[in-house]
Chain A
Amino acid sequence: MSIVGTKVIRKEDPNLLTGRGQYVDDIQLTGMTHMAFVRSTEAHALIKGIDVSAALECEGVIGAWTAADLELPPLPEVPGLERPTLATDKVRFVGEAVAVIVAESKYAAADGTELVVVDYEPLEAVTNIEEATAEDAPLLFEELGSNTVAEVPSADDHQSVFDSAPHTEKIKLINNRCTAAPIETSACLADYGPAGLTIWASFQAPHHLRNRISAWLGIPQDQCRVITPDVGGGFGQKINFTPEFFLAPVLSKILNRPVKYSQTRSEAMTSMYHGRAQEQEVDIAFDNEGKIQALRVFASQDMGGYAIGTGMGMPVLTTAMSAGCYVIPNVSVAWRNVLTNTTPIAAYRGAGRPEATYLIERAMDHIAYKLEMDPTEVRRQNYIPKDDFPYATHSELAVYDSGNFEGALDELLEIMDYESIREEQVANQDMPEKPLIGVGFSSWLELAGFGPPGSLEGFGHLGSWESVQIRIQPDGSAIIYTGASPHGQGTVTTFAQIASEYLGIEYDKISVRHGDTATIPQGIGTMGSRQVAVGGEGVKNASIGIVQKAKSIAAHKLEANPEDIEVKDGSLFVKGSPSKSLSWAEVATFSFQRLELPEDMDPGSLDETILQEVPNFSFPSGAYACVIEIDKHTGDTRVRDIYLVDDCGTVINPLLAEGQVHGGVAQGIAQALYEEFSYDENGQPTTATFIDYLMPGAPDLPSYTSGRINTPNPNNSLGAKGIGESGSVGTPPAVINAVVDALRHLGVTHIDMPATPQKIWKILQGGTK
């Protein structure tokens, strides 16, 4: 039986479940010191002075530094819009690092930060796009002359189509600001000695960090080592540079001692990158059958206080994917990036595609409202037919490789009882004590498997490939070294499955090593749902390469032709005469012994390195449905059921694929119903703790019902598309469509995320049929 496609238990789990995982904060070095930050309490202010003298008197404090003391270059982010490593003359959001303390203990470091006095001259803050783009808005960077740091107009607004269309609709949407809030907050430990620099970091892309930090510090890459040990969640937040990772090595060098930083939750909430925070103006034109004729999108991305590469890219991805699963003859997109006095924005699981899916799936329901059509019917009117792939869209980035959108909807309607939900919905409306029921759909499609050459370079990475090296050990076991840097995905398991399949070596004799630039032959990292579609393909190709060589060795020893050697169940044998066989262990041992090898082969040649490239992104898709219950008296809104049909092409491990969907769906429900990072008018955060920022937990989420269809990815031989972000992409519109559906009989056509009970209660108060 094939091991690819089976529910193998995760190799990662025993260590993690028995407390033997090792996170950055678990690592202790001799002479280690602790770093802590003085962070801005103002959203927008000039720094008139910083007095660290009292902190220096504090017991245990070793040193305190400001930007002026260190004179560091800015972080290596967007050219021309660089973020200072420590605030210089001005602060631009609450939580920005203003001064840094190093102390003998983390307690002393925290005490020290309390004693630093910063003299702020407050400036008027802009906390949202509207304020930031107002005529005489206060500017975050005076020298730029505007808070809008990028603006791309549409090539053609298709006005004539709108003018002649039977129906048009204008929709304004807000994709609420969220924070990823991984359980492990940011952490690093830098040890800069005479032999070079080692950094342990909670990060998703160790080579990326190594390459940029060594350039920033001016040391050769060979003397800079980045280790990402166990990482407790990233969700895109940990592919972006933060000041802490750059300051720790600098201070380690100054002090000639290791410097550790372990972020507090309070700091993580305001200083780690947020996600989403995009506003959209959407115009649609459609005919009487519900066929969409034109789509116009204007996406305004709130960048927060500083422009970060992945943040800048969000509206690019949103506008590339705005047409979703549908044939839309006329699409026009425009976008802009706007600075505000809030926490900077970067990638967050889904990164730009949830925003796209939300807008087009809300638009589909608006067509249904207007024409009084069933939302599934509207979608059927517009799907790209399953035989129309590859499908070129309005965007060069988005050439869809494959998909069967109507097939996914059909499967979805198989696993749910749509009719009886509709019956219950109508019956409940007139029964005061029964909840309102709503059902919402989302046919979604995303762009994953980053990516084709150039795609990640645009975000500052060295390349868009992923590295895989497989080394057969003398006993016939195998070690895979990869630049993938998993932090919860289960890549160790899936890569071992793929290798086992194509090497013919037992799963239990394959280890996967990652997260250390000293031992891994280059790498890019884990992000953009890429590591099965890119790295996994590399594992397969490296395995095939090794098997070719192993066959030559076996053929030489068994006096047969390499073409006649087969590999099965841990041994290599001559086709047709299974008694003439060698175990993998024997072949592996011979591979290191000159006298046992064919003439044209050198010892140690069962060692294959591949930088795997892919020609296109992959396009996971699916159809989700959400059933909502609303308490008519309190507005309490709960997801009763959620039905999920995913198409991620070939599934390597159904258990892990489902786990990825579950996590993403949880974050999707969270965005739709619970989470919003907000600020008051002065730019003070109002949701900076988990008491106010409502990240839901397992008891708050429904059970999931899943189904699956499979249209293989034609661009890799595995046929895999990626599934890491699917849930967070597909879920929010399904939930909001369901909430609105529950309130449709009251004339409701929209409610902004998060759909809180108070918002719904207000509607119920005012609403009559």
Chain B
Amino acid sequence: MIPAKFDYKPAQSKEEALSLLAEYGDEAKLLAGGHSLLPLMKLRLATPEVLIDIGAIEDLSYIQDKGDVIAIGALTKHRKVEQSDILKEHIPLLAHTASHVGDPQVRNRGTIGGSLCHGDPASDLPAAILATRATLVISGPSGERKVESDDFFTDFWETEVKEDELLTEILVPKYTGESWAYQKFNRRSQDWAIVGCALQAGDNPGIGMVNMGSTPVRSADAENALKSGGSPKEVGELADSGLTPPTDIHGNESYRRDLAKVLLQRALEN
């Protein structure tokens, strides 16, 4: 549990972070809350030579009402997301999902940007972000670009964010519907989900699934069934449709498929 040697470069601003990224290239890793990266480094599964610490960039930690959307700075801590009145009012799914991440220590350190950039299919917030159909703002050497949440998660632990880039902002459309839920199935209170399901029902329903594939994924077939008025049971039955959940020590594929159905049905009946 002792990391390999690394250099530590604190960045005070987005610009400084980008220039450090340009300088160190693929030797470097961004450090936000450290709650995914540091455990990997302690196990020596990650051995970056340089850590660029963006954790102290105050400018990137905010939750702002921008009219149709809420803008969330990438370095906003889970705890802030959980407790934000703006989010509780306009995107309650997101605030509620954040309250399911780890324990208070984890939520006071981990950032929403870090959780999204880590791209772990077992994480809670990516599923909620998919359900909300958010847009992600990525900054790089040639300025800003926007990526839809559907295109953000590219492979296991991989995202659209390139080595010289930084996720800076998440733009989440305000939710006007009435029926949302996050269902997380795990063994111990602070565990990752064996399966999770984030739901925003309504005209353009969003269903994000946790641990049901190699990336955070939406359950498109279930969304369509919901759109066309399917009952909770009917929609639930489609939760795993088109998805390929993994088998691991906590659950095999068929168990995960069934859990997904039960959780989605429960989310809808809530």
Contacts and interface: CB of A to CB of B under 8 A. Distances in A.
B185 interface: yes
Nearest to A106: B2
A20 B106 CA distance: 26
Contacts of A111: 4-5
A397 B249 CA distance: 40
A699 B189 contact: yes
Contact of A697 (B4, B188, B250, B258): B188
Interface in A326-350: none
B187 A694 contact: yes
Interface in B171-191: 185, 187-191
Given A692-B249, A761-B255, A674 B2 contact: no
A687 interface: yes
B1 A674 contact: no
A674 B250 CA distance: 11
B259 interface: yes
Contacts of A114: 4, 44
Overall SS of chain B's interface = loop
Interface in A622-679: 633-634, 636, 674, 678
B2 A110 contact: yes
B153 interface: no
B262 interface: yes
On chain B, which size bracket covers the interface?
20 to 34
Contacts of B252: 758
A686 B190 contact: no
A762 B251 CA distance: 11
A762 B252 CA distance: 11
Contact of A265 (B1, B187, B188, B258): B1
Contacts of A634: 185, 259, 262
Contacts of B43: 266
A686 B248 CA distance: 10
Nearest to B189: A699
A31 to B, nearest CB: 21
Count chain A CB atoms within 10 A of each CB in B1, B5, B190, B252 and give the residue with the most.
B1
Contacts of B189: 697, 699-700
A266 B43 CA distance: 8
A616 to B, nearest CB: 41
A266 B1 contact: yes
B187 A674 contact: yes
A674 B5 contact: no
A418 to B, nearest CB: 28
Nearest to A34: B2
A678 B249 contact: yes
A696 interface: yes
Interface string B187-198: 111111000000
Contacts of B251: 758
Contacts of A694: 187-188, 191
A265 B2 CA distance: 10
A586 B188 CA distance: 58
Contacts of A692: 249-250
Interface of B: 1-2, 4-5, 43-44, 185, 187-192, 249-252, 255, 258-259, 262
Given A692-B250, A700-B187, 13 more contacts: A114-B4, A264-B2, A265-B1, A691-B191, A694-B191, A696-B187, A697-B189, A700-B188, A756-B187, A757-B187, A758-B250, A758-B251, A765-B258
**Top 3 closest pairs, chain A to chain B, by CB:** A699-B189, A110-B2, A264-B1
